Amino acid sequence: MTREEWLKLSAALSLGAMLPANVIAALSDNELKRIDFGKDFIWGTATAAYQIEGGWNEDGKGESNWDHFTHYHKHKIKTHENGDVADDFYHHYESDIELMHKMHIPAHRFSIGWSRLLPQGAGQVNQKGIDFYNRVIDKSLKENVAPWVTCYHWDIPQALEAKGGWTNRDSIKWFEEYVDLCGRSFGDRVKNWMVFNEPMSFTLAGYMMGLHAPGGTISFDKFYSSTHHVVMSHGAGGRILRERVKDANIGTTFSCMPVDGWKDKPANKEAAKRVDVMANRLFIEPVLGMGYPVQDLPALKHIDKYILEGDKEKMKFDFDYIGVQNYTRWMVKNFPLVPIVHALNIPPQKLGHDLTEMGWEIYPEGMYRIIKQFAAYPGVKKIYLTENGVAVKDEMINGEINDVKRTQYIKDYLAQVLRAKKEGIDVGGYFIWSFMDNFEWAEGYRPKLGIVAVDYKTQQRTIKASGKWFSEFLKG
């Protein structure tokens, strides 16, 4: 198995059950109106600290694992770039939030940089970091852009990474201290919280494969240990926020993607079931009190050695909502030589649909399927689509970026969200990834997923046609 194939595995973060062949078609995109989703439906855009902030070593901020990774393992970034400056949101947050207001965007999902608050990961607090996020929150509220805060979006302080990061059981107490600080500092104004963003991404691509921070060589033990400690931290973080934040709306997010068995062959359908466990069920089920799904993926028995007495009860937390994030789907075939899942990805170009600039299949029905799959869990009360977007080739002509393909993508996926809502599923909101182009992790700055373009030399922002469409849609 090549490293590229493993990268695709790490990106394929969920699957769903097959739908009947005669399933009812989705609503036409030209019928979509904001009011169709209900007056209480939350609309927003999403970003993450390392991807947009810059200011990587300013005002007392400590080094994060992604600072370290992009500086010392830059060969693992396709473009050899880093997020030292990125969109320079650290200095442009006021005008960026004003632009959100101008575009009628009601909610802004962003993450807190752990190393900006606690430069060494624990202990001494950096007040200037607290002050920065207070300014961001206050500006958001002033502009009527509701702040939705993600506690952890992949950037643990390097001081803690040097001690093993999430592979170290102490990471649970480190995370508790950090979340407690977030709750005490911002909980008087921030009521909507997400504990983690896409845990499969940083455990598998980071600790197991070394393709993301912290890097390193392939390690199955690191994957199993980090998985359990992150599962434990879901409950730990959720309980602290419940205690610290009055009237909190607390969730966590998972990247989800329906995966089918190639040509419906029985062995391939069984392979899809195994990948479903790895990609989609691994974190949600223990958090819901169902335990690890070892019966459908026996390799997960290796987690047992990291489970201590009392852990199974502490893994559980009663989340107010679950965030699901969908971009595409995955088609797999049985392949015994691949560790853990014994499955291999079918190249998306063989599936007969359009592809994104990142080579992902455009498959809007995947949104509907994954909403249905997560809504089937009795413990899931409400679902938010906390990320959805697409990388397309943007071209500026006479100062305009007419990204027709992105606009159509958003319409098509929104039609599938509405389809699920009309079937009675409690879907509470939709956040576009991303508000603006940013540093896309190991892909560098090349993929453009924003509805606002960024000129990284001048830091000039340009609203794309997709952003103008979304703005008009929100006005309606």
**pLDDT digit string, tens, across residues 373-420:** 999 999 999 999 999 999 999 999 999 999 999 999 999 999 999 999
Count CB neighbours of 344 within 10 A: 20
Catalytic residue among 81, 285, 365, 387: 387
The CA distance from 364 to 366, in Å, is 5
Residue 147's nearest CA partner among 245, 33, 254 is 245
pLDDT, position 30: 56
* b/e sequence 303-320, b meaning 16+ C-beta within 10 Å: beebbeeebeebbbbebb
Provide the H-helix boundaries in 211-283: 220-244, 266-276
Residue with the two structure tokens 């590229």: 4
Amino acid at 303: I
pLDDT, position 22: 34
**Positions of the chain with pLDDT lower than 70, given as ranges:** 1-30
Count CB neighbours of 468 within 10 A: 17
**8 Å CB contact between 374 and 325:** no
pLDDT, position 9: 43
The CA distance from 154 to 113, in Å, is 9
Cα–Cα distance list, 266 to 15, 269, 270, 271 (Å): 17, 5, 6, 9
Structure tokens at 283: 């974190």
Give 364-427 as a 3 state SS string.
CHHHHHHHHHHHCCCCCCCEEEEECCCCCCCCEECCEECCHHHHHHHHHHHHHHHHHHHCCCCE
Relative to beta strand 146-152, strand 192-197 is parallel
Classified as helix, coil or strand, 7 is helix
Catalytic residue among 53, 63, 198, 440: 198
Classified as helix, coil or strand, 245 is coil
Let me know if 198 is a catalytic residue.
yes
Which residues does residue 436 pair with via DSSP β-bridges, in sequence order?
Answer: 452
pLDDT, position 13: 32
pLDDT, position 18: 29
The domain locations on the chain are 3-475
Let me know if 161 is a catalytic residue.
no
Strands of the sheet with 330-334, listed across from one edge: 259-261, 330-334, 343-345
What kind of architecture, by CATH, is found in domain 3-475? Alpha-Beta Barrel (3.20)
DSSP-assigned letter for residue 327: S
* b/e sequence 98-116, b meaning 16+ C-beta within 10 Å: ebbbebbbbbbbbbbbbbb
